[in-house]
Amino acid sequence: MKKIYKKYLILSSVLIFIGAGCSDSRGQSSSTSDVEVKNTVIKMDAVVQAAPPEVPAAAPLKERAKAPAIKTFKITGKNWEWSQTMITVKKGDHVRLVITGADADHGFAMKDFGINVTVKPGETKTVDFVADKVGEFGFRCSIPCGEGHRDMVGKLVVE
């Protein structure tokens, strides 16, 4: 019985010693280690704890309320039509139009908001504005682009 107790005590001491030796300066364990004690191999798998990710401080409620949400609409001009012909927003909304030309030069014009941009095939342009007036406002292609050019129209509705 004393022999078994003595072996157990030696094995426990070795494991404690090895466990302390496998720790780095922050108390985190290193990777897997093999330990040989009197022809017995003990496999020790380390547990590494990661620090929790830092969470950025949330902006105060007043500041979040000041920042208007941006309403983004992707519009592609091709084959004498716009991919979106009806856009609806609320008065005061910050509107972002991401306009892409697919097949030819196109112009996106909305006279009531002072917008007139040209997009070439494969090109994308971004237009930002505030919908500061209520009503229905037409937009159209402002560059003659072929026989269906007159059909490249749409409407912005500001409620």
pLDDT classification of 73: cutoffs 50, 70, 90: very high
Residue 90, strand partner residues: none
Is residue 82 helix, strand or coil? strand
Residues 100-118 have pLDDT tens digits of 999 999 999 999 999 999 9
Q: Are 102 and 121 in contact (CB under 8 A)?
A: yes
| pLDDT per position as a tens digit, 143-159 | 998 888 999 999 999 99
Fold classification of 63-158 (topology level): Immunoglobulin-like (2.60.40)
For the chain, the domains span: 2-44, 63-158
pLDDT score recorded for residue 59 = 53
CA 120 to CA 24: how far, in whole Å? Answer: 60
Q: Report how far apart, in Å, the C-alpha atoms of 10 and of each of 14, 15, 30, 43, 110 are.
A: 6, 9, 23, 17, 86
CA distance 41 to 35: 6
